[in-house]
Amino acid sequence: MELALTPLDFARRARRLYRDREAVVDRGLRLTYEEFFDRCDRWSSVLAGMGVAPGDRVAYIAPNTHAQLESFYAVPQLGAVLVPVNFRLAADDFVYIVNHSGAKVLCVHADQIDTVDGVRDRMPGVERFVALEGARPGWEDYEALLAGAARDFPRPEIDENQLLTINYTSGTTARPKGVMITHRNAYMNTVGVLTHLRIEVGERYLWTLPMFHANGWTYTWTVTAAGATHVCLPAMDPATVYELVRSEGVTWMCAAPTVLIMLSNTPKDVRGDVPPGVNVVTAGASPAADTIERLEDGLGWTVTQVYGLTETAPFITVCEPRPEHAALGTRERAAVKARQGVELITSGELRVVDGSGAEVPWDGTTVGEITVRGNVVMRGYYNDPEATEQVMRDGWFHTGDAAVTHPDGYVEIQDRIKDVIISGGENISSVEVEGVLLRHPAVLEAAVVGVPHERWGETPRASVVLRDGAAATEQDLIAFARENMAHFKAPTQVEFVAQLPKTATGKIQKYVLRGGASAVSRQ
C-alpha cells in the first residue's frame, strides 16, 4: 500500500525513534519528542472540538515559540490548513489575510493580542480567538484548553496533493497573495534539504528564521525528521543568538542576509567567545562575499546559500560545495558561495531562459529569467486565478529573477528583472554594484536602484548605511566602485541613510528607494 508523501510522516517516525530525545527548547521549557507530540495531539483534539474539519483554515500570528511550532503538526494532522501569518505586519494586513484565507480559528501570541483586539470586529468569519500565552479577557487560553484536552481525535487519511498551508507573500507593492503549499510540496523540499544539508540526529537548530516565513523554509519539519532539537528564539537579537550558540550547543541555523550582516558585525565584546562549527543556511538575497568571509574566516562557521521563493516551498537550488572549491582563495571561494547554485535533487527542473523561452548559454554573462517546474512548485495563489496565470505559463513557474548560468551549471542571480538598470543600452546588475560597495570597510548595508538620467536613460544610485563610527563620502564610495568594476556600472550618486526600507521579512523595498528619484546628470 502506498503512503502519502506528507511531512506528518516525519512526526510519526520521530515519535517512534526519538521519543526520549529533546525536541524543543523554548526559554525555560524543555520537551522530549513524546511530550511535544502529546501536546500536538491534545491541541488537535481541542481544534476538532471547536468544529475544525478537513479543509478548514486555522491562522496563527506568533513569533518562534513552542506553540507556533506545534501548529505545524496539530493543524495539518486534522486535515485542516495552517495559515502562518507574519506577526510583524500591521492590523489592516492581519484583517486582510485572516479574511481572505477564510480562517475559522485565530491563535495569537501575547505581543499581538492588543493589535488584533482592535480589529476583531472586522474578522466576521473567525469563530474562536485563542491567546497562546496567558489568560486574556475575551480570549480562550491555549494552555488551559490543552491541560483539559483528550489525546484522541479523528485522524483523516491525508492526500499528498491536498493543501497543507497557505503562506502569504510580503505584499510590498500590492495585497499579499496566498501561496498554496501541498503536503507533497513540503515533503519533497524537506527530503531535498536533508539530502544536501545534512543535519544529523542530536544536532541543535536555532530558530533565527521566522517560522511563518515559507514554513520556516520547511525546517519546522526538517529538524524533526532528523531527530534534532528545535531551539526557539522569539525575538532576533545578536547577543542572544551568540549566547544560545554557546549554552545550547547550536550547530545549525537559517538566516536572511540582513541577519547575517547583523551577526557578522556584532562587536567582539558583545558576542563573546564563539564556538566554531555552526552551519548557516542563507537565502532571500545574495549575501555579499564580504559577509561570508567574516562568518567563515572570522568565526569558523560554514555558510551555504540556497535559493527559492515562497511559491516553491521554498528551495529550488543549493550552492553545493565541490572539491575544486577548496583549492580557491578565500575571496574567490566566497564569491562562488554567493551564487545560488544548482538544482536540489528533489526540487525539479530549473532553466534560465531568454524572452522567447530558449535556455540561455552557460557562459556566466547572458542574462535570462529563472523558470522552474517540478515537485516543489505551489498549487497556485489562493482565490486568485489571474495572479496564478501570470506566473504559471507554458508549464513553468516564472520567478521574475534575472540570472546567468555559469559553465559549471551554477546559477547566479543578477537582479529581479524589474530591478535591472539599463544605462546607455548596457544592463547593470544592482546586485553586483551592491556587492562591490559592501567590500568597502565603512559600508554596512547598500541598495542600488536605477534613477532617470537625461543622457543615459538610467544611472545607478546607491543608498548606503555606514558602520557605527565609520566615515566615508559620496566621492569615496564612487571612486571605490570605479576601482573595482567597469566604470559605467559604478553609482553616480550615493545617499547616506540611517536604515534601508525593508519588508517585514527583511527584504529591501527598492520600489521605495526608486519612488523619490528625480532626473540627475552625470557628474
Q: If DSSP states are collapsed to H, E and C, what string results for 30-45?
A: EEEHHHHHHHHHHHHH
Rounded average pLDDT over 488-516: 83
Dihedral pair phi/psi, residue 30, rounded to 5°: -130, 130
13-26 confidence digits (pLDDT tens): 999 999 999 999 99
Average model confidence (pLDDT) across the chain: 92
For the residues 180-199, what does the mean pLDDT come to? 98
Note the pLDDT of residue 518.
Answer: 39
Going by C-alpha positions, the residue among 460, 448, 466, 487 that lies closest to residue 285 is 448
CA dihedral 262, 268, 273, 279 (to 10 degrees): 30
Instruction: Tell me the sheet residues that pair with 371.
Output: 351, 398
Domain 195-376+399-416 has CATH 3.40.50.12780: yes
Give the model confidence (pLDDT) of 69-106 as tens digits: 999 999 999 999 999 999 988 899 999 999 999 999 99
**Strand ranges (E), 66-157:** 81-85, 103-108, 128-131, 140-141
- pLDDT score for 452: 83
Which three-class secondary structure string do you get for 325-338? HHHCCHHHHHHHHC
**Superfamily (CATH) of domain 420-515:** ANL, C-terminal domain (3.30.300.30)
pLDDT at 517 over 60: no
Give the max Cα distance, the chain. 73
| pLDDT at site 180 | 98
Asked if residues 419 and 510 have their Cβ atoms less than 8 Å apart, the reply is yes
Is residue 337 predicted with pLDDT exceeding 70? Answer: yes
123-169 pLDDT per residue, tens: 999 999 999 998 899 999 999 999 999 999 999 999 999 999 999 98
What is the pLDDT at residue 363? 97
What integer pLDDT is reported at residue 174 of this predicted model? 62
- Check whether 171 has a pLDDT greater than 60: no
Q: Tell me how long the chain is.
A: 523
Task: Compute the distance between CA of residue 314 and CA of residue 213 in angstroms, rounded to an integer.
Answer: 10
Residues ≥6 apart with Cβ < 8 Å to 22: 30, 31, 32, 229
Question: What pLDDT score does 457 carry?
Answer: 74
Question: Residue range 213-235: average pLDDT?
Answer: 97
Across the range 265-276, mean pLDDT stands at 93
Question: Looking at the predicted structure, is the pLDDT value of residue 519 above 70?
Answer: no
The ranges assigned to domains in the chain are: 26-158, 195-376+399-416, 420-515
Residue 323: predicted pLDDT: 93
CATH architecture of 26-158: 3-Layer(aba) Sandwich (3.40)
CA separation for the pair 113, 130 (Å, rounded): 9
Averaged over 190-195, what is the pLDDT? Answer: 97
Identical fold, 26-158 and 420-515: no
pTM: 0.86
131 CB burial (10 A radius; 0-12, 13-18, 19+):
buried
Mean pLDDT for the stretch of residues 277-300: 83
Residue 516 has pLDDT above 70, yes or no: no
Grid-cell match 554567493, residue found: 338
Residue 437 has pLDDT above 60, yes or no: yes
Q: What is the pLDDT of residue 520?
A: 39
